[in-house]
Amino acid sequence: MSFARLQEHIDKLQNPTVVGLDPALSHIPDEMLEKYYKEYGETLEAASLAVTEFNIGLIDALCDIVPAVKPQSAYYEALGPFGAFSLQKTCEYAKKKGMYVILDGKRNDIGSTAAAYSAAYLGVTIVKSKEYLPYEADALTVNAYLGSDGIKPFIENAVKYDKAIFALVKTSNPSAGELQDRLMGYGDGPSFPVASQARLNRTDEPSPCPEPSPCLVSLYCAVGDLMEEIAKDTIDKYGYTCVGAVVGATYPEEAEFLRKRLKNTFFLVPGYGAQGGSAADAAKSFDSNKKGAIVNSSRAIIAAWKKGGSDYKTAAREEVLKMREELRKVLKY
Amino acid sequence: MSFARLQEHIDKLQNPTVVGLDPALSHIPDEMLEKYYKEYGETLEAASLAVTEFNIGLIDALCDIVPAVKPQSAYYEALGPFGAFSLQKTCEYAKKKGMYVILDGKRNDIGSTAAAYSAAYLGVTIVKSKEYLPYEADALTVNAYLGSDGIKPFIENAVKYDKAIFALVKTSNPSAGELQDRLMGYGDGPSFPVASQARLNRTDEPSPCPEPSPCLVSLYCAVGDLMEEIAKDTIDKYGYTCVGAVVGATYPEEAEFLRKRLKNTFFLVPGYGAQGGSAADAAKSFDSNKKGAIVNSSRAIIAAWKKGGSDYKTAAREEVLKMREELRKVLKY
């Protein structure tokens, strides 16, 4: 249930990594692109077919040593509807090869619409008497800004179909802290009159200022708390709920704090490698049993061939083995 | 620039409304679906073709009285890749009929990935020597949880191609306040030691508790402030930047507060009608010149035919005229 399948696959391969399939066209070898341009012209269709072939090659080269892939939806959407076919085929092929598929879409909306996103990636769409899987993923990244009613439709399908989600908690980018590090009232939070506004919080009466330190938490911590709370009935045999958290390797102090606080939350760790996070930084997201997290690397692996010397599959495999060794070393596997 | 095109179209039609194209299959008349099931089987392809025909009919029926449409991406994604073609054709047809297209995708990611989303909906994708518009929208909804570096790639294309975005500020759903209403330090915010954590905010030194009322703002207010600040160089002739705000009609007090505070921000107002917001509630998002906002209605219009009596186009048109009258009355057009 939940993340158990992923944890077991990680354990089997002794490799807590996920390869990000972010196929910017500049990451694809020219001869692969040219082959399709020759047949279909310089079109989005040709580019999408090249992306599919590129991904299939990477999956073939990595599926015996990497437990999971993470297609980044944006790069497929930038290719228009043909890109959607490429995304669908990429997910399908990775599943066929036994990989766990984390679709990185950071979706979010009000309940009724979140249910449609949930059907698209974790559930089924019903067409009269038939059921279809629009895109076949095991997990989806989501954004929790709308609160629990925008998350619950994903939890429902996660429970029903043995899937999972990762909510953005502390992201890996430089401006992550602008909102996420801001400190706020703990729990339901106190309510204050703000400037000329009579009441900002409609349900609580204004109350006095809280004690400073222990009652204030950062926004990212509040999001993490809320996610663990609403998913608490879905804890699996390894102790994790079906709602994971995205926690950037670029913020190791925060990761250490969150790892201690969110005992039932599985972490997806971006920011390793190209974005600047080290293996030691990424290790902060693992629990004392070396479980409960998976580390992503995208560009550094899929575009490793650009450094020269190897074809793209060999270069990616070499880079994955290097990353695996670095993580095994700091985690003392 | 920015929202000027939209404001001028609203002024011309004297109708500040946008029709949400959220084509759940249950909103489409059976005979339309059956026509495609007969030809293509009970498939996602058939359903997607029915959605396209349904939308084209709505656009034909409404384009002389409604300035804008808002396709909700989730419903197209739930149909798989064929749904992406339906979304593309819907946007293209609405543009051809002179409507302003607000794509509701609530996209968000780190800078490099946000650039790919920005290319997909507001910009172009380059395939060797050719440029393509993957999906042709005038504006896109986005989620600002990742801070300014995830928003800037959208602003760049908005400026370059006369487009715009709407960031989620105060959403219309019941659990919106769980995070959005929480109060936090104003501006850069103070930093506190939290529990056993030495420093949550990595850049500022811990400082004492701030004065309670005027220095604390809600998260939604902080997001609104940040968006107005980072887009301040893009103000158009009507006084609005290219970064609008989503402000739900279901929270009229908050809308009134935000309208006063965010003087340079154009509002997209969901939550009218089916979700419970009244015309008077929606009116709180307009400035004193009756400008600066557009009100969305989806289900109540596109599924109006289910109440019986008219075909879906006539029913939608009647519902739009009713909504227009209600808004004109409270806005005193």
Question: Is the minimum CB–CB distance between B60 and chain A shorter than 8 Å?
Answer: no
- Please provide the average confidence, as pLDDT, over all residues in chain B: 91
> How far is the C-alpha of A276 from the C-alpha of B254, rounded, in Å?
40
- Using 50 as the pLDDT threshold, list the residues of chain A that sit under it: 187-214
> How far is the C-alpha of A13 from the C-alpha of A2, rounded, in Å?
19
> How far is the C-alpha of A138 from the C-alpha of A102, rounded, in Å?
6
> Which residues in chain B are contacts of A121 at CB distance < 8 A?
77
Mean pLDDT of B179-197: 53
> Which residues in chain B are contacts of A216 at CB distance < 8 A?
192, 194
Q: Which residues pair with A277 in a beta bridge?
A: A272
Spatial neighbors of B259 by CB under 8 A, at least 6 apart, are: B247, B267, B284, B285, B286, B287, B292
> Which residues in chain B are contacts of A74 at CB distance < 8 A?
107, 109, 113-114, 116-117, 120
β-pairing, B293-297 with B17-21? parallel
Mean pLDDT of B324-331: 97
Residue B236's CB is within 10 A of a number of other CB atoms, namely 18
Where does chain B have alpha helices with state H? Answer: 4-13, 30-40, 44-62, 73-77, 81-96, 111-121, 152-161, 177-180, 219-230, 252-261, 279-283, 299-302, 312-331
Nearest CA to A167 among A68, A242, A259? A242
Are residues A245 and A166 in contact, defined by beta-carbon separation less than 8 angstroms?
A: yes
Mean pLDDT of B199-213: 36
Residue of B nearest to A151 (CA): B175
Checking if the pLDDT of B192 tops 60, the result is: no
Question: Is the minimum CB–CB distance between B30 and chain A shorter than 8 Å?
Answer: no
Residue A65 backbone zone (phi > 0: left; psi -120 to 50: alpha; other: beta) = alpha
Which of helix, strand or coil describes residue B17? Answer: strand
Spatial neighbors of B190 by CB under 8 A, at least 6 apart, are: A183, B204, B207, B208, B209, B210
Q: ipTM score of the complex?
A: 0.93
> How far is the C-alpha of A193 from the C-alpha of B221, rounded, in Å?
13
Q: Which of the following is catalytic: B35, B106, B152, B313?
A: B106
> Which residues in chain A are contacts of B128 at CB distance < 8 A?
33, 37, 42
The pLDDT score that the predictor gives to residue A215 is 53
The pLDDT score that the predictor gives to residue A327 is 98
Q: What angle do CA B240, B245, B250 make, to 5 degrees?
A: 130
Q: Which of the following is catalytic: A89, A106, A313, A322?
A: A106
β-pairing, A164-170 with A243-247? parallel
> How far is the C-alpha of A58 from the C-alpha of A303, rounded, in Å?
11
The pLDDT score that the predictor gives to residue B215 is 53
Residue A98's CB is within 10 A of a number of other CB atoms, namely 11
- Least confidently predicted of A119-123, A269-273, B141-145, B206-210: B206-210
Question: Is the minimum CB–CB distance between B48 and chain A shorter than 8 Å?
Answer: no
Q: Is B184 in Cβ contact with A183 (below 8 Å)?
A: yes
DSSP code string of B155-215: HHHHHHHT-EEEEEEE-SSGGGHHHHT-EEESTT-----BTTBS-SSSSSPP-PPPPSSTT
pLDDT digits (tens, 9 = 90+) for B256-287: 999 999 999 999 999 998 889 999 999 999 99
The pLDDT score that the predictor gives to residue A205 is 35
> How far is the C-alpha of A22 from the C-alpha of A71, rounded, in Å?
6
**Between A252-261 and A219-230, two packed helices, what is the crossing angle to 10 degrees?**
30
- Residue B163 appears among annotated catalytic residues: no
Tell me whether residue B40 is exposed, middle or buried, using C-beta atoms within 10 angstroms of its C-beta: 0 to 12, 13 to 18, 19 or more: middle
**Between B44-62 and B312-331, two packed helices, what is the crossing angle to 10 degrees?**
50
Laid out side by side, the sheet with A216-218 consists of A216-218, A183-185, B183-185, B216-218
How many CA atoms, within 13 angstroms, populate the side-chain half-sphere of residue A93?
22
Interface of A with B in 126-185 (CB under 8 A): 126-130, 132, 134-135, 143-150, 168, 171-185
Q: How confident is the model at residue B140 (pLDDT cuts 50, 70, 90)?
A: very high
> How far is the C-alpha of B167 from the C-alpha of B292, rounded, in Å?
15
How many angstroms separate the CA of residue B12 from the nearest CA in chain A?
31
The pLDDT score that the predictor gives to residue A96 is 98
Residue with tokens 């330190």: A213
In one-letter notation, the amino acid at residue A115 is A
Where does chain A have alpha helices with state H? Answer: 4-13, 30-40, 44-62, 73-77, 81-96, 111-121, 152-161, 177-180, 219-230, 252-261, 279-283, 299-302, 312-331
SS3 content of chain A, % helix, strand, coil (to 5): 45, 15, 35
Partner residue facing A192 (CB), from B108, B150, B212 = B212
> How far is the C-alpha of B185 from the C-alpha of B204, rounded, in Å?
13
The pLDDT score that the predictor gives to residue A1 is 57
Q: How confident is the model at residue B156 (pLDDT cuts 50, 70, 90)?
A: very high
Q: Give the Å distances, CA to CA, from B213 to A196, B189, B262.
A: 10, 14, 19
Q: Is B202 in Cβ contact with A251 (below 8 Å)?
A: yes
pLDDT digits (tens, 9 = 90+) for B90-109: 999 999 999 999 999 999 99
pLDDT digits (tens, 9 = 90+) for B40-71: 999 999 999 999 999 999 999 999 999 999 99
Interface of A with B in 279-318 (CB under 8 A): none
Partner residue facing A149 (CB), from B143, B146, B175 = B175
Question: Is the minimum CB–CB distance between B276 and chain A shorter than 8 Å?
Answer: no
Which of helix, strand or coil describes residue A83? Answer: helix
> How far is the C-alpha of B188 from the C-alpha of B210, rounded, in Å?
12
Residue A290's CB is within 10 A of a number of other CB atoms, namely 18
- H-helix or E-strand spanning residue A79: none
